[in-house]
Amino acid sequence: MEITSYAPGTPCWVDLHTADPGTTAEFYAELLGWTVQDTGPESGGYRIALRAGGAVAGIGPQYEPARGPTFWTTHLSTDDVDATAAAFQRAGGQVHVAPVDVFDAGRFAVGSDPTGAAVALWQPRRRIGSARVNEPGAPCWHELATRDPERAAEFYRELFGWEVVPQQVAGTDYRLLRLGGREIGGMVRIGDDWPAEVPPHWLAYFAVPDADVAVQRVTALGGTVLTGPLDIEPGRFAVVHDPAGGVFGIIALRPEA
């Protein structure tokens, strides 16, 4: 599905910062059918992943040694990243990377919400974000895992006007995130049954044609399966990590989803 614009407050881009972006990019290219372009030394070796001719995600170098699991960073679209970053702090979040231009592609900032989950803000210029979504090889879902979903709901509601709707999914404390009546993501409580070292985080999901085949491919390429494959209403999913430890989800969506 081709996308030409994102409403403010919508997840619009994902990227991963890892110790070996070249080898990691090869893993995802093999798994998800990406063509990966290195944007050159002036951008620090940041790579753009393409699917069906459209940019879908980014992979860049890790600037500090990882101190735990590495997660893809979800970016939320905004018309004015400076104003949104200021509102982000007023609402109780922390801004770790102040708004800065990314050449002519856009302007971004990085912070963490009041529950500790890292998230980025993206003001599009030449690049709107992911040009394709909800199809094999492209991002299709964004999920916030937090130990305090009530505080997270309050924060994102104030910042972007999200509607947070409780919903039982496989017996978990799950909430759908809606903007303008459209589902844009989900939120799950990190419970006592989760490993203590798992931090609050956003989890990016990529669509695949067949979850079981994709899981087999993950392990063949040196990755590890953390959860699944499991069936849920939207499709069959698994949570895995790449050989460098980057955590992400894969899901084979049912046509009606």
Where residue 18 falls (left for φ over 0; alpha for ψ -120 to 50; beta otherwise) is beta
Does domain 139-253 sit in CATH 3.30.1330.60?
no
Q: What is the pTM of this model?
A: 0.96
Average pLDDT, integer, range 20-39: 96
CA distance 154 to 181: 18
What is the pLDDT, as a whole number, of residue 65? 64
What is the pLDDT, as a whole number, of residue 67? 63
Average pLDDT, integer, range 232-252: 96
Mean pLDDT of the residues in the chain: 95
Average pLDDT, integer, range 119-139: 97
- CA angle centred on 37, ends 1 and 185, rounded to 5°: 35
What is the pLDDT, as a whole number, of residue 190? 95
CATH of 11-124, picked from 3.40.50.300, 3.10.20.70, 1.20.140.160, 3.10.180.10, is 3.10.180.10
CA distance 148 to 131: 32
Using the predicted structure, report yes or no on whether residue 66 has a pLDDT greater than 80.
Answer: no
In the chain, residues under CATH classification 3.10.180.10 are 11-124, 139-253
Share of the chain above pLDDT 90, in %: 87
The CA radius of gyration of the chain, in Å to the nearest whole number, is 17
Average pLDDT, integer, range 35-55: 93
